[in-house]
Amino acid sequence: MDRTLADVMPSVTAAFGLDGPNPLAVRSDRDVVVLLVDGLGSELLTRSADDAPTLAAHVAATLRAGFPATTATSLTSLAVGAPCAVHGVIGYSFALPEGATRDLRTLNALRWRFDTAEGPDARADAEPETVQPVTSELQRLPAAGVDVHYVVPGYQATSGLTRAAFRATGVVHAASDLREVRDGILAVARGRGSSRRFAYAYYPGLDMAGHMHGPESLQWREQLRAVDAMVADLFADLPPTCTMLVTGDHGMIGAGARVDLDTTPDLHRGVRLIAGEARVRHLYLDAPAARDDVVDTWTTLLGEHARVVTRDQAFDEHWFGPQTPRPEVAERVGDVIAVAQNDSVLIRPESEPVESTMIGHHGAWTADEQFVPLVVNQ
Per-residue model confidence as pLDDT tens digits over 140-173? 999 899 999 999 999 999 999 999 999 999 999 9
pLDDT of 331:
94
Question: Domains in the chain: how many in total?
Answer: 2
Percentage, residues of the chain above pLDDT 90: 95
What is the rounded average pLDDT of the residues 91-120? 90
Does 68 share its domain with 172?
yes
Spell out the alpha helix ranges (H) of 108-214: 128-131, 160-165, 178-189, 205-213
Question: What is the spatial distance between Cα 244 and Cα 259, in angstroms, rounded to a whole number?
Answer: 41
Question: What is the spatial distance between Cα 365 and Cα 280, in angstroms, rounded to a whole number?
Answer: 10
Question: What is the spatial distance between Cα 86 and Cα 83, in angstroms, rounded to a whole number?
Answer: 6
CA atoms within 13 A of residue 220's CA, in its CB half-sphere: 24
Over residues 109-152, the pLDDT tens digits come to: 999 999 999 999 999 999 999 999 999 999 999 989 999 999 99
Kindly state whether residue 164 falls inside one of the protein's structural domains.
Answer: yes
Does 309 share its domain with 339?
yes
Question: What is the spatial distance between Cα 262 and Cα 283, in angstroms, rounded to a whole number?
Answer: 13
Instruction: Quote the domain boundaries for residue 342.
Output: 256-357
What is the rounded average pLDDT of the residues 262-271? 96
pLDDT of 1:
53
Does 162 share its domain with 264?
no
pLDDT of 103:
85
Kindly state whether residue 107 falls inside one of the protein's structural domains.
Answer: no
pLDDT of 5:
98
Q: In which band, very low, low, confident or very high, does the pLDDT at 22 lie, cut at 50, 70 and 90?
A: very high
Above 90 in pLDDT, residue 99? no
Per-residue buried b or exposed e for 129-140, using 16+ beta carbons within 10 Å of the residue's own CB: eebbebebbbbb
Kindly state whether residue 243 falls inside one of the protein's structural domains.
Answer: yes
CATH number at residue 340: 3.30.1360.180
Above 90 in pLDDT, residue 98? no
Does 269 share its domain with 344?
yes
Kindly state whether residue 76 falls inside one of the protein's structural domains.
Answer: yes
The residues near 320 (Cβ < 8 Å, ≥ 6 apart) are 67, 83, 84, 85, 90, 314, 333
Q: What is each CA distance from 175 to 37, 295, 310, in whole angstroms?
A: 13, 45, 42
pLDDT of 192:
83
